[in-house]
Chain A
């Protein structure tokens, strides 16, 4: 079972990963966007860390809804409402439970990803965060490691794609050959699940 502490560790591990990789995310964004993805995400998840420390939410659902709300308020760029919606909808789908199973998390994250799809109007293959999230959600029921690997592969798989959404889509053919920064940060978010489960959850059943 995954308890509230697991979800705090997930957010903390994401914040640490985003902080560590912020320069790389910004470099990816410099190639096809406006070169602020790393700093925006770092600012957003630093705010998430702050608020989770102060408000001490007591259920997995409230950890994620609180995190989502603060991402929308603090990020400033399009990744704010996209990641904010992802976490908030995932949190809402988890309801009031104090512990959830990995399968319930997989279903809830699926609902979050569906909300992102609706908000941004993107589909698989459009060179967006969905290219990491969709394959990850598909195998999340198997293991967090499988989800992490699927998200990473999905993010790398955006390199040859042509962007059809967001600012990168203005570049047309020139967006080909670069990894999508949103898919890269989504891979960090999914990878942090395995990290959160690692030391104290005994690495699964």
Chain B
């Protein structure tokens, strides 16, 4: 994997503002150099609560640099929509992967790792690791 190609990250939430805000939070916390591409795909195309396959597909295309795309999702229809898109095989870029991670914490770990040049496996491992961060 060429070092100028970074893993792209897509955040799929039921809510547009939630997805946008988590992108902003992750970028803010991962700053210190150029960050990997990250896009929000929140809510429906009409701006309501839910999941839009179109928004997910556009966001994934936007962040794809050829090094893979990690998709982090919140609940229900976000999970099922991304899974069904992956199962079809032609709706997401090659190397797109649903990453099982906590949405906010995972997004930050994923972005830090991708920005440092980590490959898709490293990004997935970092995001999934966020489940192990105990708060009590």
Residues of A in contact with B (beta carbons under 8 Å apart): 40, 72-73, 75-82, 84-85, 88, 115, 119-120, 166-167
In this complex, the member of B49, B80, B81, B85 whose beta carbon has the largest number of chain A beta carbons within 10 angstroms is B80
In the assembled complex, the Cα of A61 lies from the Cα of B84 at a distance in Å of: 18
Q: Is the CB of B81 within 8 A of A72?
A: yes
Residue of A76, A88, A119 near B50 (CB, 8 A) is A76
- Per-residue 0/1 for B42-76: is the Cβ within 8 Å of any A Cβ (1 yes, 0 no)? 00100011111110000000000000000000001
What are 24 A-B interface contacts by the 8 Å CB criterion? A73-B53, A75-B50, A76-B44, A76-B48, A76-B49, A76-B50, A76-B51, A76-B52, A76-B77, A77-B50, A78-B80, A79-B77, A80-B51, A80-B77, A80-B80, A80-B81, A81-B53, A81-B80, A81-B84, A115-B87, A119-B80, A119-B83, A119-B84, A120-B80
Q: Is the CB of A166 within 8 A of B53?
A: no
Residues of A within 8 A of B3 (CB): none
Residues of A within 8 A of B52 (CB): 73, 76
Q: What is the CB-to-nearest-CB distance from A86 to chain B, in angstroms, rounded to a whole number?
A: 10
Residues of B in contact with A (beta carbons under 8 Å apart): 44, 48-54, 76-77, 80-81, 83-85, 87-88
| Nearest B residue to A166, CB-CB | B76
Known contacts A76-B50, A76-B77, A77-B50; can you find 7 more A-B pairs with CB under 8 A? A73-B53, A75-B50, A77-B77, A78-B76, A78-B77, A81-B81, A82-B80
Residue of B44, B49, B54, B77 near A81 (CB, 8 A) is B77
The 6 tightest CB contacts between A and B, nearest first, are A76-B50, A81-B84, A81-B80, A78-B77, A76-B44, A78-B76
Residues of B within 8 A of A167 (CB): 76
Q: Is the CB of B54 within 8 A of A88?
A: no
Residues of A within 8 A of B48 (CB): 76
